[in-house]
């Protein structure tokens, strides 16, 4: 292993980029600089990924420095397979979002360069939150990343933006503060004078304490994910956020919740996690079905996509808490795939809305005839959202359902209805906006321009490639998930699979 | 035969410098011509603060005394020196704000709006007495947390409070509110002082001494159930809790903070709070530490009520200074959580260092926030109504950004000093490992989330609302005010990213605990 501090470099480049961008006087230059910085981060992240050896140590690229010795807090970052793919997801999405948001910030006569600087700050924090191996550092990123997103929604969002921004912030802050109590208590109970994640594994043995601490962490992550019934902030935030911010919000920020469940709730409090599993699985199944049904009833395109995400997050949580290797790997893969597919869905919807100036499905019709590329991209993104075989989400959804079925047959079966409902909400939305006679208001609509094609093409390519060939990602994810589950000490699911397969 | 008392002049030197400078200030008022007064007062005041601060540093470096000074009546120990340093820094920056004469009335005795007042304005009269008055108040603040017996503490309380009552009535704008604030503060403050004094008398009746450690020793032999002790503790508690603005004794805070000239509000919100918490800690830990099972339940209720009242009533406020006052009440509630976290020696040191650190972070951020308030002005003075702040983020993004940053620090968002302050206190409370206190910490974080709402509301107003056509102007700050805002912002960032040096200081100060 080289001693290059990759993770710090990634964050450092983003932060310095943000500082630089905020001092540029020229808006156009600021945008180009942001794009350049985010592409640089992407390249660095890819180089880092190439150097990652999936079957080596669990945590690689580790850096550990004392930060606040009095509190036992370290600046400690490292990645395992799960964190790595999520960092990669962020690094891929940010340049695309930058390109997609090229004109977003200009509408409100607000500072363009602030928007792009916030994007880069957010990128640094997204990398930090996944890379942190010190629970306290994780908490710091977890809370601090709310602020740039809050300003992005509040300053650059739609008509209800300040309501949505405040709701988003308060929900997340509330959960985060409960987690803070759990973080403090974890430190005291463990009594290791350290917040390092490896030190804290298995440190809490008392079942009652574990349950309380688990709840503190879980509520925060459930709000973040968001899990039914604490999901209500997401449709507002996602619908009001500018399309680019919505992509990062739903695509990456929410993943912190599900990632946290897998990494912290399961590994730090394995017994409590098992104790809570029935309830969590039940909530997830409700979320899957509820999100899908409510999505069908939406009249606003962005809210519809937000509700589909609630349904998808149900799948992810179910996969995480099924505690089988297949389900957990599937859930992790799902986090990545969902980021791409929902990302492109939000972005194409954003292009559509930008052209017509309305978020309502009823204002569209027959767009396919005037803007075939736009409609095509929308269709592929949508089909990925409904898990069409051959597109990436199918693989992960299938893995989650399969893995869950090994242990919890009934929830898996009920969850499967989510797939059918997904077909309804996606196809019906497509039908109403794209098919049929061309509505007068969209008759003049222009098709995707060059910049927008560059936004959509890489994501669609990723969706298709990962749909046929998810192996590279799974190779990275699987060992990490296995090691996580070893820490959870599940009455190992693998033999159960083997027995069933053998029969 | 009576032996002369021994006085440790070196240990008491910071106090003596401040009081000495205050007395010289009075002489300046009496003998210096009017046009020279300000030119003498400002350097005199600032120099005395710097000198006292230098002496505090010197004493810290030379080693902290382990016995109380002045025949056991003033305890200059680790925590005291830390608190002194904090108060002196906060006073220094507050004096820089007071330096802005725009804030003070030319003639306090004139009826508002009368011809007499007009005349005073046209003559360019000014109350330069504010400097010696502020110095007396600061001297009181220094003595208050250092007093090792209840009588000295009472004297300190009065020396601290009386000048503040006067200073509150000197606001240039909104004269009637200012006078109302002054009278209210005086009346309620006098009541609370009476409570304090009566409590002192009853405790004397119980212990036969007003010495804090003497009371503690008396507790060791008594059962702790005596009426004199219980009633005395309660009354003393009322007097002290009034000063920190804990509910249900918080009613004065919004009115006084609103009416007082903003630089004075900054001084009170930072310095007085720090001093009062020092005194609360000394009384409840040193004198009544062996009786904690008696006062903890009441304190629990007070703390819970304080943070809930502070957080919830703040939401309904429309005046920026009243809102900050309620915020200060909520923070007093959070601090009280740490006051209850008493246990063995290590636990006490942990709680004390947490509290000391919290006081530093809160004090600095508060002064910064009030400094910003002085800069946003309408034609008739400060733009006090919250709605006037709408769209400030577009008019002057830098100032609004700084204010938003201070508000986020109050809300305790990570990477600001407020976060680590809260963390340090809550950590010590959880470390006690008692369910009732951990429960209170949970309540405190829920209250923090509620409190975040009103901080965020101001940010929403400043950044997400459109400015009104006749919005307030942001005056170009004087060098002093810029320095204050810059210092506060810097400290809020620095303590939010690298709190370790100050934490070290606080830990070192707390390690020896209070001398007895």
pLDDT of residue B27: 93
Residue in A11, A70, A108, A170 to test binding to B, most B beta-carbons within 10 Å: A70
What residues are paired with B385 via a beta bridge?
B319
Residue with the bigger pLDDT between A362 and B373: it is B373
pLDDT in tens, B5-48: 888 888 889 999 999 999 999 999 889 888 888 889 999 999 99
pLDDT of residue A502: 43
pLDDT of residue A503: 43
Q: Which range (A174-183, A443-452, B78-87, B132-141) has the least confidence?
A: A443-452
Residue A447, pLDDT > 80, answer no
By CB neighbour count within 10 A (0-12 exposed, 13-18 middle, 19+ buried), where does A297 fall? exposed
Whether A173 and chain B come into contact, CB under 8 Å, resolves to: yes
Q: Which range (A243-247, A284-288, A291-295, B491-495) has the least confidence?
A: A243-247
The nearest CA of chain A is from the CA of B394 a distance in Å of 8
pTM of model > 0.90? no
Q: Are A211 and A197 in contact (CB under 8 A)?
A: no
By CB neighbour count within 10 A (0-12 exposed, 13-18 middle, 19+ buried), where does B501 fall? exposed
Q: Angle A450-468/A81-100 helices, nearest 10 degrees?
A: 160
Residue with the bigger pLDDT between A68 and B282: it is B282
Q: Calculate mean pLDDT across residues A389-413.
A: 83
pLDDT in tens, B166-184: 999 888 878 888 889 999 9
Q: Which chain A residues are Cβ-neighbours of B448 within 8 angstroms?
A: 177
Query: Where do the structural domains in chain B lie, given as residue ranges?
Result: 9-511
Query: Where do the structural domains in chain A lie, given as residue ranges?
Result: 272-503
Residue A491: pLDDT band with limits 50, 70, 90 = low
pLDDT in tens, B209-240: 888 888 888 887 876 568 888 899 999 999 99
Q: Using CA atoms, how far apart are residues B190 and A217, in angstroms rounded to an integer?
A: 48
pLDDT of residue A304: 87
Backbone angles phi, psi at B32, to 5 degrees: -75, 145
The shortest CB-CB distance from B445 to any of A71, A162, A177 is to A177
Q: Using CA atoms, how far apart are residues B4 and B6, in angstroms rounded to an integer?
A: 6
Whether A111 and chain B come into contact, CB under 8 Å, resolves to: yes
Residue B276, pLDDT > 60, answer yes
Q: Are A160 and A240 in contact (CB under 8 A)?
A: yes
Residue B421, pLDDT > 50, answer yes
Whether B497 and chain A come into contact, CB under 8 Å, resolves to: no
Q: Which chain B residues are Cβ-neighbours of A147 within 8 angstroms?
A: 408, 413
Percent of chain B with pLDDT over 90: 37
Q: Are A202 and A488 in contact (CB under 8 A)?
A: no
Q: Calculate mean pLDDT across residues B79-85.
A: 92
Residue A164, pLDDT > 50, answer yes
First to last CA, chain B: 27
Residue in A124, A149, A173, A176 to test binding to B, most B beta-carbons within 10 Å: A173
Arithmetic mean of pLDDT over chain B = 87
pLDDT of residue A435: 80
Arithmetic mean of pLDDT over chain A = 83
pLDDT in tens, B182-217: 999 999 999 999 999 999 999 998 888 888 888 888
Q: What is the ipTM of this complex?
A: 0.82
Residue with the bigger pLDDT between B467 and A258: it is A258
pLDDT of residue A109: 57
Whether B465 and chain A come into contact, CB under 8 Å, resolves to: yes
**What is the chain A residue with the closest CA to B439?**
A181
Q: Are A494 and A323 in contact (CB under 8 A)?
A: no
Q: Using CA atoms, how far apart are residues B326 and B314, in angstroms rounded to an integer?
A: 5
Residue with the bigger pLDDT between A440 and A117: it is A117
pLDDT of residue A1: 46
pLDDT of residue A419: 84
Which of the residue ranges A189-198, B110-119, B199-208 has the most confident prediction, judged by mean pLDDT?
B199-208
pLDDT in tens, A118-147: 888 888 998 899 988 888 899 989 888 888
State how beta strands B381-382 and A60-68 pair.
Answer: unpaired
The shortest CB-CB distance from B456 to any of A110, A111, A169 is to A169
Q: Calculate mean pLDDT across residues A229-249.
A: 83
Between A and B, how many CB-CB pairs are < 8 A? 89
Q: Calculate mean pLDDT across residues A360-373.
A: 79
The nearest CA of chain B is from the CA of A172 a distance in Å of 9
Residue A108: pLDDT band with limits 50, 70, 90 = low
What residues are paired with B74 via a beta bridge?
B69, B147
Whether B430 and chain A come into contact, CB under 8 Å, resolves to: yes
């Amino acid at each position: 292993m080289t001693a290059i501090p990759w993770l710090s470099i990634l964050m450092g480049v983003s932060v310095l980029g943000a500082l630089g961008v905020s001092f540029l006087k020229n808006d156009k230059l600021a945008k180009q600089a942001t794009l350049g910085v985010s592409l640089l981060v992407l390249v660095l992240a890819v180089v880092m990924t190439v150097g990652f050896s999936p079957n080596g140590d669990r945590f690689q690229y580790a850096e550990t420095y004392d930060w606040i010795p009095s509190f036992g807090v370290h600046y400690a970052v490292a990645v395992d397979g799960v964190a790595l793919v999520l960092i990669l997801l962020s690094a891929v999405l940010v340049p695309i979002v930058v390109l997609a948001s090229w004109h977003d910030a200009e509408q409100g006569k607000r500072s363009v360069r602030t928007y792009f600087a916030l994007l880069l700050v957010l990128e640094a924090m997204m990398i930090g939150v996944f890379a942190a191996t010190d629970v306290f550092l994780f908490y710091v990123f977890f809370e601090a990343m709310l602020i740039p997103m809050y300003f992005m929604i509040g300053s650059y969002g739609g008509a209800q933006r300040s309501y949505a921004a405040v709701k988003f912030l308060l929900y997340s802050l509330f959960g985060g503060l409960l987690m803070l109590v759990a973080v403090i208590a974890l430190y005291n109970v463990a009594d290791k004078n350290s917040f390092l994640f490896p030190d804290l594994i298995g440190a809490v043995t008392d079942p009652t304490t574990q349950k309380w601490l688990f709840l503190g962490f879980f509520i925060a992550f459930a709000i973040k994910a968001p899990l039914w019934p604490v999901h209500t902030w997401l449709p507002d935030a996602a619908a009001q956020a500018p399309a680019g911010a919505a992509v990062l919000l739903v695509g990456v920020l929410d993943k912190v919740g599900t990632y946290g469940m897998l990494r912290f709730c399961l590994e730090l409090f394995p017994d409590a996690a098992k104790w809570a599993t029935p309830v969590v699985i039940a909530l997830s199944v409700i979320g899957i079905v509820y999100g899908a049904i409510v999505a069908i009833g939406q009249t606003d395109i962005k809210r519809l996509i937000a509700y589909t995400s609630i349904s998808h997050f149900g799948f992810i949580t179910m996969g995480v808490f099924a505690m089988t290797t297949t389900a957990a790997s599937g859930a992790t893969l799902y986090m990545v795939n969902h980021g791409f597919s929902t990302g492109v869905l939000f972005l194409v919807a954003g292009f559509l809305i930008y052209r017509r100036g309305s978020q309502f499905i009823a204002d569209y019709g027959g767009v396919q005839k005037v803007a075939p590329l736009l409609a095509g991209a929308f269709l592929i993104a949508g089909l990925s959202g409904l898990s069409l075989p051959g597109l990436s989400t199918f693989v992960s959804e299938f893995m989650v359902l399969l893995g869950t079925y090994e242990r919890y047959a009934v929830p898996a079966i009920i969850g499967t209805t989510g797939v059918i409902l997904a077909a309804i909400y996606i196809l019906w939305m497509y039908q109403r906006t794209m098919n049929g006679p061309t509505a007068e208001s969209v008759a003049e609509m222009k098709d995707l321009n060059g910049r927008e094609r560059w936004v959509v093409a890489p994501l669609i390519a990723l969706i298709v490639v990962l749909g046929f060939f998810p192996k590279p990602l799974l190779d990275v994810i699987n060992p990490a998930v296995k090691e996580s589950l070893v820490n959870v000490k599940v009455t190992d699911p693998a033999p159960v699979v083997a027995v069933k397969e053998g029969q | 035969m009576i032996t002369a008392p021994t006085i440790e002049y070196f240990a008491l030197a910071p106090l003596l410098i401040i009081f000495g400078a205050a007395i010289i200030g009075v002489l300046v008022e009496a003998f210096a011509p009017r046009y020279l007064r300000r030119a003498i007062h400002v350097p005199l005041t600032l120099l005395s603060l710097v000198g006292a601060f230098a002496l505090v540093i010197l004493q810290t470096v030379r080693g902290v005394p382990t016995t109380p000074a002045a025949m056991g009546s003033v305890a200059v120990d680790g925590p005291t020196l830390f608190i002194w340093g904090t108060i002196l820094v906060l006073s220094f920056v507050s004096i820089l704000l007071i330096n802005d004469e725009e804030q003070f009335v030319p003639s306090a005795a004139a009826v508002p709006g009368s011809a007499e007042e007009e005349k005073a304005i046209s003559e360019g009269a000014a109350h330069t007495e504010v400097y010696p008055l502020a110095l007396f108040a600061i001297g009181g603040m220094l003595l208050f947390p250092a007093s090792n017996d209840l009588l000295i503490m009472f004297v300190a309380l009065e020396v601290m409070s009386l000048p503040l009552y006067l200073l509150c009535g000197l606001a240039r704008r909104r004269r009637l509110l200012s006078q109302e604030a002054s009278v209210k503060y005086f009346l309620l403050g006098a009541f609370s002082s009476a409570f304090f004094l009566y409590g002192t008398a009853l405790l004397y009746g119980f212990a036969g001494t007003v010495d804090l450690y003497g009371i503690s020793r008396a507790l060791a032999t008594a059962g702790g159930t005596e009426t004199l002790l219980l009633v005395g503790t309660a009354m003393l508690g009322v007097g002290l809790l009034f000063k920190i603005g804990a509910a249900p004794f918080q009613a004065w805070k919004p009115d006084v903070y609103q009416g007082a000239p903003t630089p004075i509000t900054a001084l009170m919100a930072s310095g007085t709070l720090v001093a009062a918490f020092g005194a609360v800690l000394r009384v409840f830990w040193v004198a009544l530490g062996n009786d904690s099972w008696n006062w903890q339940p009441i304190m629990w209720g007070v703390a819970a009520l304080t943070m809930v009242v502070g957080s919830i009533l703040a939401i309904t406020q429309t005046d920026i200074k009243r809102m900050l006052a309620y915020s200060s009440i909520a923070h007093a509630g959070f601090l009280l959580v740490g006051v209850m976290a008493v246990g063995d020696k290590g636990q006490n040191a942990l709680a004390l260092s947490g509290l000391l650190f919290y006081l530093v972070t809160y004090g600095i951020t508060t002064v910064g926030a009030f400094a910003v308030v002085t800069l946003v002005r309408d034609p008739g003075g400060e733009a006090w109504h919250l709605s006037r702040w709408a769209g400030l983020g577009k008019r002057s993004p830098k100032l609004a950004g700084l204010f938003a940053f201070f508000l986020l620090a109050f809300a305790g968002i990570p990477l600001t000093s407020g976060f680590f302050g809260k963390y340090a206190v809550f950590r010590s409370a959880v470390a006690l490992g008692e369910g009732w206190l951990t429960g209170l910490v949970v309540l405190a974080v829920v209250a923090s989330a509620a409190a975040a709402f009103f901080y965020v509301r101001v940010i929403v107003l400043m950044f997400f609302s459109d400015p009104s056509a006749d919005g307030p102007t942001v005056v170009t700050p004087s060098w002093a005010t810029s320095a204050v805002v810059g210092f506060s912002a810097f400290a809020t960032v620095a303590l939010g990213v690298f709190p370790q040096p100050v934490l070290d200081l606080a830990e070192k100060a707390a390690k020896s605990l209070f001398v007895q």
